[in-house]
Structure 1
């Protein structure tokens, strides 16, 4: 795994997973939110975001967290060797964002752009609430464009993601012994 996309609904745990995977493997972590947002929750214009994303996607190694499927989808999909998809139920993602807000309200999370503190945003709640119905079909189409040499790993609960990280740690320990 040299170029990994970590995708799924907000609140699913994808950022936490991507950071942990990066720490374990030494592959650099890239947050699409940090590339896209400017201080004060100002959106980047398309050309500016495209330039930043293209520069990162052409790097030899990354673990890229985030969806943004409408922006340069083919570039990211074609460049990756692995897609890790958090396909969690709506209630799990809603609980995830509620916990996140409670734990970091008013501060900037590690994967966010500077000047974008955690906040209560009802439009964002609606996005997460409708994610499975509106965004999931788009992701399924997106995954349909993967090549035979690319891997798709799907988690339907957080325990599967934790087990996956434990397997990687065990594999690394076995390799370091030999």
Structure 2
């Protein structure tokens, strides 16, 4: 199946939806909006992955196995240990293919807000101090910059493995809104 544009009709009502994109692109926000629009549970995969102190939860893969075996869900397509399983079970992939400058603006704004306000995230975690951007190669801002191009390769590989899987490519917030209000709402 070719890439679908924001106003292309969906081939049916999706039940198991993945949202792909680089860190900071808005995957979680869009997955939650899709879940609400289709009345399917949104499972925030970061909440399953991160335990207290940012330690990966030992039950992560089992938790993903359990929810993804269910008939209806929307989640983010990340974490290499479960990416293939989620892709195998999905019936729609929505790809947030935003330009690097847009992603960086979003991830910097979000990270500064979370860090300055000590906003509690998954399982009580908070963003590390902003200065860790200089010495932590996995700091979310550095991670978003260095991994920005990886989503395109993953989506291409998935399209080859699953030519039956519809992929919607969204390149801006405006396209996301048009898609949510248009083809997705028409698929309900």
- Structure number with greater CO (CA < 8 Å, separation at least 6) is 2
* Residue number in structure 2 paired with 1:167: 182
Equivalent residue for 2:70, pick from 55, 59, 63? 59
Using the TM superposition, give the Cα deviation of residue 168 of structure 1 relative to its aligned residue in structure 2, in angstroms: 5.0
**How many residue pairs were aligned?**
166
SS in 2 for 1:12: coil
Can you give the 5+ residue segments of structure 1 that lack an aligned partner in the other structure? none
Can you give the 5+ residue segments of structure 2 that lack an aligned partner in the other structure? 1-13
TM-score, normalising length from structure 2? 0.78
Cα distance, 1:133–1:59 mapped onto 2, change above 3 Å = same
Q: What are the within-5 Å matches in structure 2 for residues 60-139 of structure 1?
A: 60-68=71-79, 70-105=80-115, 106-109=118-121, 113-119=122-128, 120=130, 122=133, 123=138, 124-139=140-155
CA distance, structure 1, for counterparts of residue 107 and residue 177 of structure 2: 18
SS in 2 for 1:40: helix
Cα distance, 1:18–1:170 mapped onto 2, change above 3 Å = closer
Cα distance, 1:97–1:32 mapped onto 2, change above 3 Å = same
